[in-house]
C-alpha cells in the first residue's frame, strides 16, 4: 500500500496546466493539495539571490552556515519587480485553489513561517484521510535540512537602507521585519 504525492512547484506549470488537465487528474486520482507558501516573499527573493551567490540551497548542520557570512548587495528595482510578480502569481494560485475546493478537491494551506511538527502531523493526517491505507500507512519524518539563512535581513543585505527606503509605504514594507 502506498500514497502517491507530487511535489510541484508553482513555476512548474500548476496555473498554466490547471484547466487543461490538473483539475481532472486530481479528481480522478482522489488526490489532495497541500499549498505550502511563504507569507514573507521578500525572504523568498533574498534566499533565491543568496542561492545564486553561494550555490548552497540547504545546510545539514549549523557549521555549514559559515557560508552565510557574506552580505548580499541587491538590485532594489529587481527585488520590487520580483515581489510584484510573486504577488500576481499567488493570486493566480489562490484562484485555482478555490476552484479545486469548489470541485471537491481537499486543499490544505500551510505557511512556511508557521511550520512545526504539529503542522507536519496535520498535513500527514490530511493526506491519509483520503488514502485507502489510512490506518496502516505511516511515513517516517526526519529533520534532514536546517534553515539556510537565519540572519535578519539587515544583517544579510548590504544595501538594506536602500531596500528599506524603496519598500517604505508599500504593501511589502512589513516584510523587512522578517
d(CA 135, CA 124): 12
Return the pLDDT at 111: 87
Return the pLDDT at 174: 96
The residue ranges of every structural domain in the chain are 10-173
d(CA 157, CA 51): 14
Q: Give phi and psi for 109, each to the nearest 5.
A: -105, 125
Return the pLDDT at 131: 62
Number of Cβ atoms within 10 Å of the Cβ of 96: 20
Calculate the dihedral angle through the C-alpha atoms of 103, 108, 109, 113, rounding to the nearest 10 degrees.
Answer: -170
Task: Show the low-confidence residues of the chain (pLDDT under 70).
Answer: 1-5, 57-69, 127, 130-150, 178
Return the pLDDT at 144: 43
Amino acid at each position: 500500500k502506498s500514497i502517491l504525492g507530487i511535489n510541484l512547484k508553482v513555476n512548474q506549470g500548476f496555473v498554466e496546466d490547471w484547466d487543461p488537465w490538473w483539475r481532472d487528474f486530481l479528481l480522478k486520482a482522489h488526490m489532495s493539495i497541500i499549498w505550502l507558501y511563504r507569507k514573507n516573499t521578500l525572504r523568498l527573493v533574498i534566499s533565491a539571490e543568496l542561492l545564486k551567490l553561494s550555490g548552497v540551497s540547504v545546510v545539514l548542520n549549523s557549521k555549514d552556515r559559515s557560508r552565510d557570512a557574506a552580505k548580499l548587495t541587491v538590485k532594489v528595482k529587481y527585488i520590487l519587480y520580483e515581489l510584484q510578480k510573486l504577488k500576481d502569481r499567488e493570486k493566480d494560485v489562490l484562484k485555482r485553489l478555490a476552484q479545486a475546493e469548489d470541485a471537491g478537491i481537499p486543499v490544505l494551506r500551510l505557511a512556511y513561517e508557521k511550520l512545526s511538527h504539529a503542522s507536519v502531523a496535520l498535513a500527514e493526517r490530511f493526506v491519509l484521510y483520503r488514502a485507502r491505507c489510512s490506518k496502516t500507512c505511516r511515513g517516517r519524518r526526519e529533520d534532514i535540512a536546517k534553515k539556510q539563512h537565519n540572519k535578519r535581513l539587515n544583517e544579510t543585505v548590504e544595501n538594506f537602507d536602500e531596500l528599506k527606503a524603496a519598500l517604505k509605504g508599500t504593501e511589502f514594507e512589513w516584510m523587512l521585519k522578517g
